[in-house]
A = this chain, B = another copy of it.
Amino acid sequence: MTSTQRRLCSLALLLAWLPSASARAADDLPSWNDGPNKRAILDFVSRVTTAGSPDFVRPQDRLATFDNDGTLWCEQPNYVQAFFLIDRVRALADQHPEWKTKEPFAALLKGDMKAAVSGGEHGIADVVSATHAGMTTDQFEKLVTDWLATARHPRFKRPFTACVYQPMLELLIYLRSKGFTTFIVSGGGIDFMRPWTNRVYGIPTQQVVGSSIKAKFQARNGGFEIERLPQIDFVDNGPGKPLGIQRFIGRRPIAAFGNSDGDLQMLQWTTAASGARLGLIVHHTDAEREYAYDRKSPVGTLDVALDQAPERGWVVVDMKSDWKTIFPPAAP
């Protein structure tokens, strides 16, 4: 490029970019009400991205981890994966007449999740094995995709993937525009999330960490497949979250976002280190527009993490007052 070309181009780009850049800076998080919580997010991002700032972090080290259930999408009145599981049990019930009298299958067939989980983790493991295993990874992906296309949230009457939080979608986009790499670190099934996280959150499969069952590689019919086995491999929840981060991501994030005690250790691991750190809890305080729950909730219990938030400097988002809107506009 000659110097004349360079000057022409710089001028043209400057004229073109200035207005749009300032318009964007005006509000990167339009669904967040102004207040200390929004300012804490903007201030953290400014400190780690401003060259020369004592808290500056290189783009390659700007890692942010997000819980999914209750942090990015609605987890009430039950985890979305629980609705999927119940529908799978119903779909398979004809092949398993014994389920009518065998718990926790019998309770699930009646849609009684509370009774179903009362038998403890062992029973739930049986159900996961029966509904999530015994098929290839490709077959499972299709089941999830097909189910999400037709299933609807019982209260909001829209697809579960439309019951995601608009303010959090904006936060994901904002962080990526500032050089962050965004990850999901969820207690949910890793293969239940991956078919749709890129479309819905802009997070590709390789940036999704979750719970998993074991699998087996095998040759079959002249091709190859990965068969899902009825055995829990890894539970990415509670103390499992820092371990999942270490195993999949390999470094400590500088920002973590959660909403329940299942995120406690991820928040601890992320923020108890030198340099600028952001820990954030979505506190569900809005029974009218979404749900209000914390310490006593059977799903998404927030108790210990809420107590630790002040001393550890975690931002506690008050959904009712901090968020202008909860969900994205309904699809036309």
Interface residues of A (CB under 8 A from B): 1-2, 5-6, 8-9, 11-13, 15-16, 60, 63, 137, 181, 183, 190-191, 194, 198, 204-208, 212, 215-217, 219, 223-224, 226, 239-240, 242-243, 246-251, 265, 268-269, 272
Total identical chains:
2
Say which residue of B9, B11, B215, B269 sits within 8 Å of A224 (CB atoms).
B269
Can you spell out 17 A-B residue pairs with CB atoms less than 8 angstroms apart?
A: A6-B12, A6-B16, A8-B8, A8-B9, A9-B9, A9-B16, A190-B247, A205-B251, A206-B207, A206-B248, A206-B249, A208-B250, A212-B247, A215-B246, A224-B265, A224-B272, A226-B269
Residues in B whose Cβ lies below 8 Å from that of A208:
250
Distance in Å: Cβ of A16 to nearest Cβ of chain B: 3
Pairwise interchain contact B250-A190, C-beta atoms closer than 8 A? yes
From B12, B198, B216, A60 is in contact (CB under 8 Å) with B198
In the assembled complex, which residues on chain B have CB atoms less than 8 Å from the CB atom of A224?
242, 265, 268-269, 272
Q: Is the CB of A181 within 8 A of B198?
A: no
Which residues from B are CB-within-8-Å of A212? 247
Q: Is the CB of B243 within 8 A of A226?
A: yes
CB distance from A323 to the nearest CB of B (A): 30
Complex Cα–Cα for A15 and B3 (A): 12
User: Do A239 and B251 touch across chains, with their CB atoms under 8 A apart?
Assistant: no
In angstroms, Cα B207 to Cα A217, docked, is: 21
Q: A60 CB to closest chain B CB, in angstroms? A: 6
Q: Which residues of the partner chain B approach A205 to less than 8 Å between Cβ atoms?
A: 249-251
A1 contacts which of B12, B204, B248, B251 (Cβ < 8 Å)? B12
A-B contacts besides A12-B12, A190-B250, 15 pairs, CB < 8 Å: A5-B11, A8-B9, A9-B13, A60-B198, A60-B204, A63-B206, A181-B206, A194-B250, A206-B206, A206-B251, A215-B246, A217-B242, A217-B243, A224-B265, A248-B248
